[in-house]
């Protein structure tokens, strides 16, 4: 449920903390279901607005934030989109069912 550091893909979804919180190392913001929501939201946002969600991050954030369980700001969401994009552009073979489903959504 939190941000255990045993997950090898954890850095893709974590935000570095500073000061007192740096002792915790990372804190997971987005859950797996949020990743799927973000990927579905990307496709919907692009088809409805014809805009790039990374270039218009605040509009994309407004578009998708009500569907997310995570309370993330526009910059955190933009960072998450970038990490998902990097993850799925650099590989197409995944073993976890979640990653396979997310990759299928990413291709759309």
pLDDT by residue (tens digit) across 29-43? 999 999 999 999 999
Q: In which band, very low, low, confident or very high, does the pLDDT at 22 lie, cut at 50, 70 and 90?
A: very low
* Length of the chain measured in residues: 108
| Residues 87 and 12 sit within 8 Å (Cβ to Cβ) | yes
Tokens representing residue 46 in the block: 């692009």
Query: Cα separation of 18 and 50, whole Å?
Result: 37
Supply the pTM of this predicted model: 0.73
Give me the chain's average pLDDT, please.
82
pLDDT of residue 26: 58
pLDDT of residue 92: 85
CB-count burial class (<10 Å; 0-12, 13-18, 19+) for 30: buried
């Amino acid at each position: 449920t939190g941000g255990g550091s045993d997950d090898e893909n954890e850095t893709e979804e974590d935000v570095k903390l500073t000061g007192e919180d740096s002792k915790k190392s990372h804190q997971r913001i987005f859950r797996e279901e949020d990743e799927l929501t973000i990927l579905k939201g990307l496709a919907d946002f692009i088809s409805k607005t014809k805009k790039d969600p990374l270039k218009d991050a605040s509009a994309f954030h407004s578009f998708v934030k009500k569907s997310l369980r995570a309370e993330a700001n526009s910059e955190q969401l933009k960072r998450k989109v970038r990490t998902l994009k990097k993850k799925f552009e650099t590989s197409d073979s995944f073993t976890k069912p979640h990653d396979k489903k997310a990759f299928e959504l990413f291709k759309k």
